[in-house]
Structure 1
């Protein structure tokens, strides 16, 4: 081990590596916890947000605004950068990766955590929302992966793509059709993206985090879901973050093409 490698090891398992994390806009959110965990592991991180989406949702924007989110992550500087980008624009995924390369020189880890949510049942679903959910959730994830792979130097260790699906492959989500369908596409693309990149030493895995308490659920839904979890509580963002940090590390180098259900034993049939 060289002197530089020894110093990196002391700084953390991801020291010297650069990550892009999408969907970072609320301190209560999974993206925030992911970024904090990767920073603590020594990575430099560029985060993407699209706060107008939060403003349109029941949970709303972060009370401290995006400036407060970034400050809580340690502030912009040598370790942290930020871009605002709407993945409804097909050019934005590549632009986000370009911004990370311009800022940090390269990208080793892509965490596509962003998601567009819309409450539409079969009776309510519209072509416009189906197209938008597909564009943001599924197409955005593919184009981010494409841009990541295009800039990746295969001589560097630790090439990682980590995508996010939901529980639609385990139980119906009939009141969230555009979201569930587009997240189902991410589940199905995992093996094919992995195959496309495995010979380059880049792993591709997808996380289904299960029910995670990020402040969006009603009191009744919170109670009902907690009753369906053996621990009697929802998952926590930091629990998802630890899984992602492991997948981004050298310890997970042999894992690729997998959809990992991190759900705490969620029993969907319990009322």
Structure 2
């Protein structure tokens, strides 16, 4: 059984990616979630409706022990299963001006996006290297490429993901493993629902927010065999804000 794991797969962009991979690939979809079991089950339902298989798997990507235990347990229960694709999508925002930012808001955001990448990817990377095949796609952000005021923590976490993508890509390329990142701009989701869309849309040359499905299409391409010669890339998907 070949599998694709999507972290933070229960809602928003993560859910759209799970559904898209269910349509475009033969992968058994592992939908990771942290707290919203209902949303994860709804995503699983859509994966099954798309004619594919999947399951939900609960862990907080930022908690190294929890990740290790959950994935080891899953691997023991499914000894034949091979995770060929990892989409590191889980992320949180705790926005605020740096001068007033407390330590917890700084470290929580870094722990989820950056350490979450490490905790999940490091668990599988040796197996991928042995199997001589893999697809790793990291969800960065326009904030990590250009920096966004009021988001120093998020920009730092996503900027680090950009750098780790470029470095890891070079380490594993000989083994047929690609590592790429996707950097979305303003995408309609729970995460952007509090933003003033009318004002922010003025910054976007195409004059609208993006859809989660548009990001999912790009991720699905990078996961596919068609993207074999693309690695270490950061692909902006932001309606022309910054490229």
Q: Same fold (TM over 0.5)?
A: yes
Return 105-114 or 194-203, whichever deviates more. 194-203
Structure 1 unaligned regions, length at least 5:
1-15, 52-60
Counterpart contact for 1:100–1:106, Cα < 8 Å? no
Using structure 1 for the length normalisation, give the TM-score: 0.79
Counterpart contact for 2:47–2:53, Cα < 8 Å? no
2:98 equivalent in structure 1:
122
SS in 1 for 2:30: strand
2:7 equivalent in structure 1:
22
Counterpart contact for 1:165–1:184, Cα < 8 Å? yes
- Which of 113, 127, 130 is the matching residue for 1:151? 127
Total equivalences in the alignment: 239
Cα RMSD after superposing both structures: 2.6
User: Cα offset for 1:156?
Assistant: 5.7
User: Cα offset for 1:96?
Assistant: 4.8
Change (3 A) 1:251 1:120: same
1:171 equivalent in structure 2:
146
SS in 1 for 2:179: strand
Question: CA separation in 2, counterparts of 1:219 and 1:21?
Answer: 25
Question: CA separation in 2, counterparts of 1:98 and 1:133?
Answer: 25
Change (3 A) 1:39 1:156: farther
User: Cα offset for 1:168?
Assistant: 2.3
Change (3 A) 1:255 1:78: closer
Once the two structures are superposed, residues 141-199 of structure 1 have per-residue CA deviations (whole angstroms, 9 ceiling, x without a partner) of: 02322112122264464x10101111124433221222221111111111111122112
Question: CA separation in 1, counterparts of 2:194 and 2:65?
Answer: 39
1:43 to 2:27 alignment:
yes
User: Cα offset for 1:131?
Assistant: 2.1
The higher radius of gyration belongs to 1
